[in-house]
Amino acid sequence: MIIAQMPPSQHSKPSSTGLNWSITKMKINLWYCDDMKQWRWTLTDGSRPIVRQESGQQPYLRDAMNDVANTVEYMLECKQSK
């Protein structure tokens, strides 16, 4: 299990995409499933109760990580537009 959290001093800094990081904590689970030959992942926001959960799978690790990064950016965009 990987838990990604930005230090408090960086919460309001813009990302490389120009987004402000308004979500302070996300939980990313990443694992390889031998039976399916896929890298699988889940991503949940840090709120309680959980407001948003996304998941995906790819045969290659790099593709799975790109999906996670794209999903995080999308979640930040959605959060910013509210």
Cα–Cα distance between 52 and 44 in angstroms, integer? 6
Is residue 63 classed as helix, strand or coil in its secondary structure? helix
Answer whether 39's CB lies under 8 Å from 61's CB: yes
Q: What is the pLDDT of residues 18-29, one digit of tens each?
A: 555 555 688 999
Other Cβ atoms closer than 10 A to 75: 18
So what's the pLDDT on residue 43? Answer: 94
Confidence of residue 16 (pLDDT cuts 50, 70, 90): low
Q: Where are the domains of the chain?
A: 2-7+18-80
Q: Cα-atom radius of gyration of the chain, to the nearest Å?
A: 13
Please, how many CA atoms are within 13 Å of residue 26, restricted to the half-sphere of its CB?
24
So what's the pLDDT on residue 25? Answer: 84
Q: Please state which architecture CATH assigns to domain 2-7+18-80.
A: 2-Layer Sandwich (3.30)
Rounded average pLDDT over 49-64 = 93
pTM: 0.70
